[in-house]
């Protein structure tokens, strides 16, 4: 700061020379510390010195970086060649470069500056920065050639010229380094991703998105999901020659040829968080100040209350796999077809110990010094817990009326198939088993309205929509109103990183619809677009003879007689064998009851109607006026004050049999919800439809059944 800096140093140089920047000062101080006599004592077997050790040893570096190793990391990554510093893989340690590394760094910089991307070997040898490095060498030319032949070099000698190493070789080397045992032992994020899959497969799109800098992905960072796919395709092509990694171009995944084994003492990403926290606490030793210890315990109690409020708000209960599984174990399936109603959930109770499967709660509980039951009881008595009450037995119970949606079994579905499908949809990643062969699951959601809201509240609603989509690992995700190259680019990129491929169509009015499919189970064999409606033909990896056509559309009255719309439902029979699945936002033509007025949908069965006996109901959003201003809110009846309800969406099918559909909520629950609760639980003012179908069972009964009988009244 100006108060502590030497005035003479702050004065302009008499010669007019430019004063060094902070990065240059930091690099100079790091080099001085590494050249010191004690540096050899601090270095490990590879010659690296922890940056934290340098900060403690050199007070000037401590002041210049404000004690932050991040500033050192940024300075080294942005350094000029003259400083010759090198970071380790985890960006925590630093060392001086070897002469060979300095040659490789300078050669890469010279090639980068060259107009044609190549320089002569003699020109490189005459570089001022390399003269000092090459001076001790008997044969500088041979030394340079040998240094550039190393696999870490970005350039290579071809005859008498130095040129860039092929891009594929650089990508292959970077990917192999990421999946090496040494790197996986230190990188908990990638290690956890590898351990999620039984075969150790990682989606290439996820890898290129999370490690774009390490891989040197050439696609623009803001290019969205398509740009990530381009980088993933390039990486997949480069890994064809890899002996350590195997890339699957059809599934768009990569895995080690030799499976990774978690070393003893290393966390595989699925361990008990409470044990890790307890170990960290024990390692830190007892608190020096009892008052500070009490402060930490009280802080943990506050955090526990906040987490209980978060996890037991109605939206989180509905979209958290662990809590849904806990409700099923404690309450059992609903007595009647439909959701768990408030009366049945009144019997639900649990202890905080039952919630330690939630990592954040387990971490906080491990830090508490007082009784967890006493903390919860005190919080409940003072009203600090919003959604929970504590009984005399010390167990937690839901405070207010809540409904939770539940998967309902279709009448003709096999119980074991139903159980396996639900487990594949709802289980946590480390506990999820593959979906049964010959089945397909889908999530259909109309998200156009919420994605167009760019306000701060709109961003919060979009985050909730993302949580709703990721809670179920379905084969298909059909999103009406999503444009992966427009408002929905962030959501599309998230799904792409989760291993989904996608296709979309954009109409003349700017409206768009998108279909996402799980690349690990399905392969696209064709597609068709008509204005904003899109159809995709998919073939199963498990059963190559099993194919299906998936359609995502939002028909309007003006397009009902459109010949192009009829083409979506026809298509070559060989491409889907008569199996058609249509996910439609039917609100523009009056709602799900009006499906029969759309040619192509009239002879299809409604999944919700067949399994639940009715279409899914959702609150109606109030009109915002001509200017579209004001926050979103539910529409209410002027006479009764109840929320207005509608049934806008439908999932329709032909040539397959339903297995299960996620139930909706009761009309009484939806109509009497407070406006703020409606906005929280229904961020898009729609109810996501989740269903699964059997593609291989006999469909004689389904085909012989009458199509869904429409209501005599069509809402227009």
Helix H or strand E segment including 142:
helix 140-148
pLDDT tens digits for range 430-487: 677 788 999 999 999 999 989 988 888 889 999 999 999 999 999 999 999 999 988 8
Would you list the domain boundaries of the chain? 21-97, 167-219+228-256, 295-398, 440-620+643-663
Residue-level pLDDT at 647: 95
Query: Do 167-219+228-256 and 21-97 fall under one CATH topology?
Result: yes
- Indicate if the pLDDT at residue 694 is higher than 90: yes
Q: Which of 271-280, 540-549, 679-688 has the highest mean pLDDT?
A: 679-688
Q: When comparing pLDDT for 194 and 36, which is higher?
A: 194
CA–CA dist 521, 176 (Å, integer): 25
pLDDT (mean) for 95-99 = 84
**Domain topology for 440-620+643-663:** Deoxyribonuclease I; Chain A (3.60.10)
Of the candidate ranges 71-75, 133-137, 376-380, 555-559, the one whose mean pLDDT is the lowest: 376-380
The per-residue pLDDT for 2 is 40
pLDDT, average across residues 219-239: 81
User: Is 218's pLDDT higher than 80?
Assistant: no
Least confident of 241-245, 297-301, 556-560, 632-636: 297-301
Residue-wise pLDDT for 391-414, tens only, equals 888 888 998 889 999 999 999 899
Q: Which CATH architecture has domain 21-97?
A: Orthogonal Bundle (1.10)
pLDDT, residue 628, reads: 59
Instruction: Give residue 253's pLDDT.
Output: 93
- The HSE-up count of residue 678 (CA atoms within 13 Å, CB side) is 26
Mean pLDDT of the 537-551 span: 90
pLDDT, average across residues 210-216: 81
Distance CA 379, CA 376 (A): 5
What confidence score (pLDDT) does residue 550 get?
95
Residue 480's H or E segment, with its range, is strand 476-480
The overall average pLDDT reported for the chain is 82
- How does 105-142 read in b/e, with b if 16+ C-beta sit within 10 Å? bbbbbbbeeeeeeebebeebeebebbeebbeeeeebee
Which of the pair, 567 or 233, is modelled with greater confidence? 233
Read off the pTM.
0.77
Looking at residue 703, its pLDDT comes to 44
Best mean pLDDT range from 81-85, 337-341, 400-404, 683-687: 683-687
The yes-or-no verdict on residue 602 having pLDDT over 60 is yes
Looking at the predicted structure, is the pLDDT value of residue 272 above 50?
no
Residues 192-212 have pLDDT tens digits of 899 888 889 999 999 998 888
What class, spelled out in words, does domain 167-219+228-256 have in CATH?
Answer: mainly alpha
Give whole-number Cα distances, 110 to 113, 160, 183, 213, 386, in Å. Answer: 5, 15, 30, 21, 63
């Amino acid at each position: 700061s100006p108060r502590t800096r030497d005035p003479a140093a702050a004065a302009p140089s008499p010669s007019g020379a430019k004063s060094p920047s902070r990065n240059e000062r930091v690099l100079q101080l790091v080099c001085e510390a590494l050249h010191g006599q004690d540096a050899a004592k601090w270095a490990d077997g590879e010659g690296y010195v922890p940056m934290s050790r340098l900060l403690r040893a050199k007070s000037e570096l401590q002041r210049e970086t404000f004690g932050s190793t991040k500033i050192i990391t940024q300075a080294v990554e942005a350094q000029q060649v003259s400083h010759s510093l090198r970071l380790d893989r985890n960006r925590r340690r630093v060392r001086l470069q070897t002469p060979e590394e300095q040659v490789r760094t300078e050669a890469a910089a010279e090639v980068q500056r060259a107009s044609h991307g190549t320089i002569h070997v003699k020109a490189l040898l005459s570089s001022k920065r390399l003269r000092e490095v090459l001076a001790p060498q008997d044969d500088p030319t041979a030394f340079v050639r040998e240094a550039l032949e190393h696999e870490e070099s970005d350039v290579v000698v071809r005859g008498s010229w130095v040129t860039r190493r092929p891009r594929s070789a650089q990508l292959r080397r970077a990917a192999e380094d990421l999946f090496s045992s040494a790197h996986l032992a230190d990188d908990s994020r990638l290690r956890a991703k590898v351990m999620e899959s039984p075969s150790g497969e990682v989606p290439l799109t996820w890898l290129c998105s999370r490690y774009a800098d390490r891989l040197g992905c050439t696609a623009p960072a803001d290019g969205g999901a398509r740009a990530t796919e381009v980088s993933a395709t390039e990486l997949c092509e480069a890994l064809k020659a890899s002996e350590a990694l195997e890339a699957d171009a059809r599934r768009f995944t990569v895995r080690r040829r030799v499976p990774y084994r978690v070393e003893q003492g290393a966390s595989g990403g699925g361990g008990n968080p409470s044990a890790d926290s307890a170990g960290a606490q024990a390692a830190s030793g007892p608190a020096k100040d009892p008052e500070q210890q009490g402060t930490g315990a009280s802080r943990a109690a506050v955090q526990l209350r906040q987490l209980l409020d978060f996890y037991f708000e109605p939206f989180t209960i509905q979209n958290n796999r662990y809590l849904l599984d806990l409700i099923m174990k404690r309450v059992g399936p609903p007595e009647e077809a439909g959701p768990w109603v408030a009366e049945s959930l009144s019997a639900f109770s649990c202890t905080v110990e039952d919630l330690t499967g939630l990592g954040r709660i387990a971490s906080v509980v491990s830090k508490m010094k007082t009784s967890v039951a006493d903390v919860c009881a005190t919080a409940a008595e003072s009203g600090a817990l919003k959604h929970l009450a504590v009984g005399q037995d010390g167990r937690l119970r839901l405070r207010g009326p809540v409904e939770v949606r539940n998967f309902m079994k279709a009448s003709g579905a096999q119980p074991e198939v139903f159980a396996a499908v639900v487990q594949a949809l709802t289980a946590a990643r480390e506990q999820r088993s593959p979906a049964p062969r010959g089945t397909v699951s889908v999530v259909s959601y109309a998200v156009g309205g919420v994605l167009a809201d760019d306000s701060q509240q709109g961003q919060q609603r979009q985050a909730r929509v993302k949580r709703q989509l990721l809670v179920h690992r379905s084969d298909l995700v059909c999103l009406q109103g999503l444009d992966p190259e427009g408002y929905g680019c962030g959501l599309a990129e998230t799904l792409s990183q989760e291993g989904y491929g996608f296709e979309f169509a954009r109409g003349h009015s700017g409206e768009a619809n998108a279909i996402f499919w799980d690349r690990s189970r399905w392969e696209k064999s064709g597609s068709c677009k008509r204005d904003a409606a899109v159809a995709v033909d998919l073939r199963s990896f498990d059963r190559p003879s099993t194919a299906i056509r998936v359609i995502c559309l939002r028909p309007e009255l003006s397009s009902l007689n459109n010949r192009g719309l009829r083409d979506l439902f026809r298509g070559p029979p060989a491409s889907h064998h008569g199996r058609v699945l249509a996910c439609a936002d039917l609100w523009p033509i009056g709602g799900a009851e009006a499906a029969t007025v759309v040619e192509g949908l009239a002879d299809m069965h409604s999944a919700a109607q067949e399994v639940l006996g009715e279409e899914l109901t959702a609150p109606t959003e109030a009109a915002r006026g001509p200017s579209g201003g004001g926050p979103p809110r539910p529409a209410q009846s002027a006479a009764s004050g109840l929320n207005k309800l509608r049934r806008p969406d439908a999932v329709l099918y032909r040539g397959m049999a339903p297995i299960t559909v996620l139930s909706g909520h009761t009309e009484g629950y939806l109509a009497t919800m407070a406006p703020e609760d409606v906005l929280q639980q229904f961020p898009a003012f729609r109810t996501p439809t989740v269903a699964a179908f059997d593609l291989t069972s006999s469909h004689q009964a389904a085909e012989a059944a009458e199509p869904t009988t429409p209501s005599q009244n069509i809402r227009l």
